[in-house]
Structure 1
Amino acid sequence: MVYEISETAMQIGELALRSMLYEVASHPSPGLVSPFSSGGHKDMDFFTFLRSSSALVFPVTLCAEIGLREDPGLIFWKIREIGIKAEERMFEVTSGVNTQKGLLFLESIISSAAGHVLSRGKDVTPNDISRAVSIICSGLTKNDFGKLKFKNVLTRGEKLYLEHGMKGIRGEVEAGLPTVMKYGLPALHEAMSAGLNDNDIMVHVLISIMRAAEDTNIAGKFSVDVLNEVKSAAREAMNKGGMLTEEGREIIWRMDSEFKERGISPGGSADLAAATLFVHLLSTCDIKLESRKCF
């Protein structure tokens, strides 16, 4: 597959990379990797994520170009092919560690959705991205999970779907990013209006998302009960003001210590926090449709 990359796709890819880096750079991010901690992980650190993000920016940019060019009914299958190759590259640079497989999936779809919106001559808004993501991913859960009863070996995500009906990230994109729209973006706007710095904005968004996200990283590694504990702790933090108050911050720091000790890492929520920033940036950076090619 050979594509020329437009300036428009390059702009989208730049914003995707920024959102990836902002997520991993923020602290305290309970149980997650940051510049100051490996969180609940023993096999990765901040620099592992820098290598991973660097490897993923071009595939995500290419997905934006596909969104600009292709019929929406074909977009998902074309970007999935790119995603498979991108995963292989990610594992190469991380020595086999899964740092951002879920985030690659999310940002590839959002990038292609932004490209599709722009190709129709429209400005990119969160609602337009939500609708485009849902259209691109229509039927995804049925396609991926519809024949699980015939499989002998199941992944964690597949087991969670069969046992608890959890659709995870597939359900999120198929429904048009409801967690981002309902919890991520309002928290981001609230934190921005309060004048928080970029780090604290990202933490506030993360905790808001954690109270609602169907985080299969936690449910798969531990249990649904542990996931509910995490949601409850995040709700308590947000009820006390999150990063807007000293009381909320104290709860978040306690969560960070506890999650590290227990090895709890809300990676699915982290992916949605990065996706939230990505959607916000796409809708505020005045990306224009360009015909001139960069490469």
Structure 2
Amino acid sequence: MLAQAHVHTERCSVQSPIASPQRKHIAQQIAILAVRSLYAELVLYPKPGLVSLRDNGSHVDMDAACFMRSLFSLRHYFRDIALAGAAGAEFNILKNLGIAAEQRMLKATKGINTHRGAIFALGMLSAAAGYCLSRDGVLTTTTVRQALISQWGQALAAHSAPDAAQYLSHGLQAAKRYSASGAREEAALGFPSIFELALPRLQQSLREGRSLYLAQIDCFFTLMAHISDTNLYHRGGAAGIAYARDVAQNFLEQGGTADPQWLHTAENCHQEFIARRLSPGGAADMLAATCFVQLCLEEFSATRIHE
């Protein structure tokens, strides 16, 4: 893989890097957490307009089985990009790994875009986690964000700049048309929607005694209420995203999953989104990324790795 053959190892001299076998073990752990996070997003229900094990939401071209094939195709990608991050690889290395992963995804799904946004967001976070754990063996929200910005922030900012060659996907076309920010801009800033919005909401719901399932629902609606979801722009334009934000905000103002009627409300939202053909795929990607960060914190934050 590119991560193994072309990484610039001279950039790994910051502190003492993990020995190679241990680095591979950590990268495999990161990959497992990434796949678990994508699975958690898939099975969560109700997520208005989105595919779950219950139904296909607003989609006629994909179902849960398609997502499972996509997940399986990505398992080695997360390991390889975590290894590249641990080695301090330049952004082009990470980008090439992502492009190859996207090609494998499309082959597995027969051309259906199930996880393009997640390949980017969870890929960058996997690289950042690998980088942090290869330095001092401890991962925190602060160190992950610092790694993203210090190591790849400049390249990510350039990657998010308007460029006609980039606007191939529906999401990128929508971002250009509506001047909306997306995952690329988010990554360049260290994913503020994850670390300043979604993760605090997830952790707040957990502290208040709600289950992880309920906390993930609250997290999802929080993301939908705030982010510039290019998938919603593509399907519904400015009116579609305004509707989605209003629905999500109303759900949260009623108490989210603390409201005894939350499931009825959320299922009604789901049916309304289907009727309008709206699908907040960007919020789904950020939910998976938030779940990934939470899992990494649980797995690694109290662990110090030595040679």
- When normalised by structure 1's length, the TM-score is 0.90
Map 1:46-195 onto structure 2 (within 5 A): 46-71=64-89, 74=90, 76-135=91-150, 136-148=152-164, 155-195=169-209
Task: Report deviation, 1:144.
Answer: 4.4
Is the 2:167–2:176 contact (alpha carbons within 8 Å) kept by the matching residues of 1?
A: no
For the structure 1 residues 43 and 160, does the alpha-carbon distance in structure 2 shift closer, same or farther, using more than 3 Å as the test? closer
Matched residue type, 2:50: L
The answer for the alignment partner of 2:275 in structure 1 is 261
In 1, Cα distance between the equivalents of 2:95 and 2:305?
Answer: 24
Matched residue type, 2:205: A
Task: Report deviation, 1:54.
Answer: 1.1
For the structure 1 residues 144 and 191, does the alpha-carbon distance in structure 2 shift closer, same or farther, using more than 3 Å as the test? closer
- When normalised by structure 2's length, the TM-score is 0.86
In 1, Cα distance between the equivalents of 2:306 and 2:108?
Answer: 32
For the structure 1 residues 134 and 221, does the alpha-carbon distance in structure 2 shift closer, same or farther, using more than 3 Å as the test? farther
Say which SS state the counterpart of residue 49 (structure 2) adopts.
coil
For the structure 1 residues 142 and 167, does the alpha-carbon distance in structure 2 shift closer, same or farther, using more than 3 Å as the test? farther
Is the 1:207–1:237 contact (alpha carbons within 8 Å) kept by the matching residues of 2?
A: yes
The answer for the alignment partner of 1:42 in structure 2 is 60
Say which SS state the counterpart of residue 154 (structure 2) adopts.
coil
Q: RMSD across aligned C-alpha pairs, in angstroms?
A: 2.1
Task: Report deviation, 1:289.
Answer: 4.1
In 2, Cα distance between the equivalents of 1:284 and 1:48?
Answer: 29
Task: Report deviation, 1:290.
Answer: 6.7
Task: Report deviation, 1:187.
Answer: 1.7
Structure 2's unaligned 5+ residue stretches are 5-19
Map 1:199-218 onto structure 2 (within 5 A): 199-218=213-232
Is the 1:130–1:176 contact (alpha carbons within 8 Å) kept by the matching residues of 2?
A: yes
Does structure 1 residue 272 correspond to structure 2 residue 272?
no
**Aligned to 2:246, which of 209, 228, 232?**
232
In 2, Cα distance between the equivalents of 1:224 and 1:14?
Answer: 37
> Over residues 248-276 of structure 1, what are the superposed CA-to-partner deviations in whole Å (9 max), with x where a residue is unaligned?
43322211111122211100000001111
Map 1:22-33 onto structure 2 (within 5 A): 22-33=40-51
Q: More displaced, 153-162 or 167-176?
A: 153-162
> Over residues 32-88 of structure 1, what are the superposed CA-to-partner deviations in whole Å (9 max), with x where a residue is unaligned?
1111011110111111111111111110111001111125xx1x2111111111111
For the structure 1 residues 163 and 46, does the alpha-carbon distance in structure 2 shift closer, same or farther, using more than 3 Å as the test? closer
For the structure 1 residues 257 and 111, does the alpha-carbon distance in structure 2 shift closer, same or farther, using more than 3 Å as the test? same
Matched residue type, 1:276: T
Is the 2:226–2:245 contact (alpha carbons within 8 Å) kept by the matching residues of 1?
A: yes
Is the 2:178–2:233 contact (alpha carbons within 8 Å) kept by the matching residues of 1?
A: no
Is the 2:132–2:139 contact (alpha carbons within 8 Å) kept by the matching residues of 1?
A: yes
Say which SS state the counterpart of residue 254 (structure 1) adopts.
helix
Matched residue type, 1:239: E
In 2, Cα distance between the equivalents of 1:288 and 1:47?
Answer: 38
Matched residue type, 1:47: A
Is the 2:84–2:94 contact (alpha carbons within 8 Å) kept by the matching residues of 1?
A: yes
In 2, Cα distance between the equivalents of 1:156 and 1:219?
Answer: 9
In 1, Cα distance between the equivalents of 2:199 and 2:28?
Answer: 24
For the structure 1 residues 211 and 234, does the alpha-carbon distance in structure 2 shift closer, same or farther, using more than 3 Å as the test? same
Matched residue type, 1:22: A
The answer for the alignment partner of 2:39 in structure 1 is 21
Task: Report deviation, 1:154.
Answer: 5.8
Q: How many residues align?
A: 286
Task: Report deviation, 1:288.
Answer: 5.1
